[in-house]
Structure 1
């Protein structure tokens, strides 16, 4: 018996020793793996709160709050309450990264209010001259007429850079559109964003952040037509006009797979848009809005692991699931700031949100960039668009008790969408 006991103790000791040896090794391996993940190399903005400028994951779990999803690979992501503006969790949310076609949200938020949807336009060769090689296209043809409504369907559903360039031509040209987008980004306090091309095509120095993309989505979703386009799963688009024949149309489908359930990606319950993107330089990017049990959340994921199929959708869905479960059980780590004009209208001064002056490049150089070519853009764009939106909201709200960032009236369409 003593011999047997001695043997058992020896085996147990060996087992415990192996656990002690292996556990640190596993931790070291994990650290090595984490060290290989790209990280911001410079200081990040603190717009929306100091925590949002810190490197790594930011979350404050309260009693009963679920832990964050495992295996998140996005270089940058954020989960926020779309109405209150509370940021529930974030990871490198101010890291400036190429945005790909998610930048089209800013394009639409800037240009959409200035063009009547029934206006018809005959496309000229020069309108399509600046479309980048390998761009996503909806199939716009020169010497063919399209309504503004048609073109916006091409932008939102097919992410058509050809449709973007035609709309930019109608707005006043690519340069005027880029300048107006930059001004509008500044008005929204999206100070990480530098606009070079209106369609999000890879361009030198063109960057945004998960935080800024979420601001663009939140602003755009105040507009009924933006919401309708973003939530449209499929539509008909005008085809080529053959001489002597009636012009035919062809079907197009939204490339947001959480909305359509295409390519093996499961539709997300309560999804209502907004935009996905991909380029070689940017990787996959996605911003989505969803409603569940009266709560509306926004999520943005930028550049997840390219080796994982549909990672951007899987990670966005898992973060939304977490956000709905965690709402009310976590302490916000920051906030989505209101537009500058909303702060001014509420009598809280004209300065950007706390931390904005710490944003790299957000000083005189940025102010010069957003202040150029003001006369080049049509009246009603940029700041004036945002002012009109804010004015309408503030009429509904009571004398600034809730600022625009505290309660945006999101949105009838989101709440009407059927469960999936």
Structure 2
């Protein structure tokens, strides 16, 4: 198979996904699990960060062992400590030497959780939390909107944060800012976008509301960029929900799969002319770029990495092979080896693609609250597209995932291309259980 040309941004390959099967499914009665607010922790100190994500800040490291009781959202097995997998004839054994505190392997389209380990352990998420930030805020502003940065926009960016290089007094498009968020994990870009979104406090409030709407009940947001903060936690399960929801948006898929891009530099004057320079930025996802001695993972298409003092290394990736699209999330490998988070992710992807179709799932990625509420007797969900909203809970499912529509209330039962949510009255509704990703970048291995 010929290798694709190496370009600054690898083009999206649009594939039509046939809606091959529909199942009449009763909405499961999920346990009412409230996420208690984590208690503040004593302060720590930042550390150097080679992975391109924000360095640590005040917050103590989490316990070395998972709690005895964890959330059972998505299935009772997912609330149990330790590896959870249904081994049977023909099912490969799990990879050896996995050291991550928490991980999950799931089918991105069906929602089946193929295997997991401490999936609901609440841990610091680092910059993988930017997936929730993007899923919440990305629909608010068109790509072409411009913003001139003032000093107050960058107030609150944590010491040692990863930065894309936003300059005060310069004007950036929203498109530029999102490239800074996804490629360089730029906390400066996050804060500018948060300012445009009525401030950090508003953004944090909307992120928490959107997490609740997605039933990501392990998550508590304090800082929108993922910078370590007392009480800020998420889980491998929740991060996978954020990735799955975000991947419904074309812009989210495009940004998270972009390898390199040109970013605006400083404006200067040359020979009486105003000149705006540019510089190249590269994605910090090393399975996507093949940087630091790693090979590009075959079929990789995003999503986001992170690294802080307290979180350690975190990563959520999506990859496709043989018609299967898998999501893998890993949090905090114990092995202190270079690129360990990526190596363990690759092992779990390899296992998942071999096990897919053979292994009995141990749980599922649950639908958003609005998808469940719309199926209740007497509900009046219409499937109409929502306007530019807060990204929080919604009484109606959003039927379109373009950059101009709201992100709140996205249901597992909508088709991206048609934007139609099909419902039946009563406690059951017609669900297209597959959540197709028609513009997902299908990557080929390098020669």
Cα distance, 1:39 vs. partner? 1.6
Is residue 2:391 matched to residue 1:381? yes
Q: Which 5+ residue runs of structure 1 have no aligned equivalent?
A: 1-36, 351-377
| CA–CA distance in structure 1, aligned partners of residues 414 and 69 of structure 2 | 37
Is residue 2:373 matched to residue 1:310? no
SS in 1 for 2:280: strand
Cα distance, 1:383 vs. partner? 2.5
Equivalent residue for 1:339?
Answer: 368
Equivalent residue for 1:403?
Answer: 431
Equivalent residue for 1:45?
Answer: 71
SS in 2 for 1:60: coil
Is residue 2:256 matched to residue 1:227? no
TM-score by length of 2: 0.76
| CA–CA distance in structure 2, aligned partners of residues 387 and 167 of structure 1 | 18
Aligned counterpart for 1:210 among listed residues 236, 239, 264? 236
* Distance change (3 Å), C-alpha of 1:379 and 1:396: closer
For residues 166-245 of structure 1, the aligned pairs below 5 Å read 166-243=192-269, 244-245=273-274
Q: Encode CA deviations 1:12-57: one digit per residue, 9 max, x unaligned.
A: xxxxxxxxxxxxxxxxxxxxxxxxx932134110000000000100
* Distance change (3 Å), C-alpha of 1:198 and 1:380: closer
* Distance change (3 Å), C-alpha of 1:348 and 1:44: farther
Q: Which 5+ residue runs of structure 2 have no aligned equivalent?
A: 1-62, 380-387, 395-405
Q: Encode CA deviations 1:122-149: one digit per residue, 9 max, x unaligned.
A: 0010100110000000000111000000
Equivalent residue for 1:357?
Answer: none
SS in 1 for 2:100: coil
Cα distance, 1:309 vs. partner? 1.4
Equivalent residue for 2:132?
Answer: 106
Contact kept, 8 Å, 1:45 with 1:53, in 2: the verdict is yes
For residues 5-84 of structure 1, the aligned pairs below 5 Å read 38-84=64-110
Q: Encode CA deviations 1:239-261: one digit per residue, 9 max, x unaligned.
A: 01113441110000000000000
Equivalent residue for 1:262?
Answer: 291
Q: Encode CA deviations 1:55-99: one digit per residue, 9 max, x unaligned.
A: 100000121111000000000000000011000000000000000
Aligned counterpart for 1:249 among listed residues 250, 258, 278? 278
Question: How many equivalent pairs are there?
Answer: 355
SS in 1 for 2:106: strand
Cα distance, 1:347 vs. partner? 3.3
Cα distance, 1:381 vs. partner? 2.9
* Distance change (3 Å), C-alpha of 1:279 and 1:54: same
| CA–CA distance in structure 2, aligned partners of residues 388 and 305 of structure 1 | 36
Aligned counterpart for 1:300 among listed residues 314, 321, 329? 329
| CA–CA distance in structure 2, aligned partners of residues 101 and 348 of structure 1 | 40
| CA–CA distance in structure 2, aligned partners of residues 220 and 387 of structure 1 | 11
| CA–CA distance in structure 2, aligned partners of residues 386 and 176 of structure 1 | 16
Cα distance, 1:395 vs. partner? 5.2
Equivalent residue for 2:52?
Answer: none
Q: CA RMSD in A?
A: 1.9
| CA–CA distance in structure 2, aligned partners of residues 124 and 76 of structure 1 | 40
| CA–CA distance in structure 1, aligned partners of residues 150 and 112 of structure 2 | 45
Q: Encode CA deviations 1:254-278: one digit per residue, 9 max, x unaligned.
A: 0000000000111100000000000
Contact kept, 8 Å, 1:155 with 1:163, in 2: the verdict is yes
Q: Encode CA deviations 1:344-390: one digit per residue, 9 max, x unaligned.
A: 2233799xxxxxxxxxxxxxxxxxxxxxxxxxxx7453234345643
| CA–CA distance in structure 1, aligned partners of residues 123 and 292 of structure 2 | 27
| CA–CA distance in structure 1, aligned partners of residues 256 and 267 of structure 2 | 28
| CA–CA distance in structure 1, aligned partners of residues 391 and 177 of structure 2 | 19
| CA–CA distance in structure 2, aligned partners of residues 54 and 348 of structure 1 | 33
Cα distance, 1:411 vs. partner? 3.2
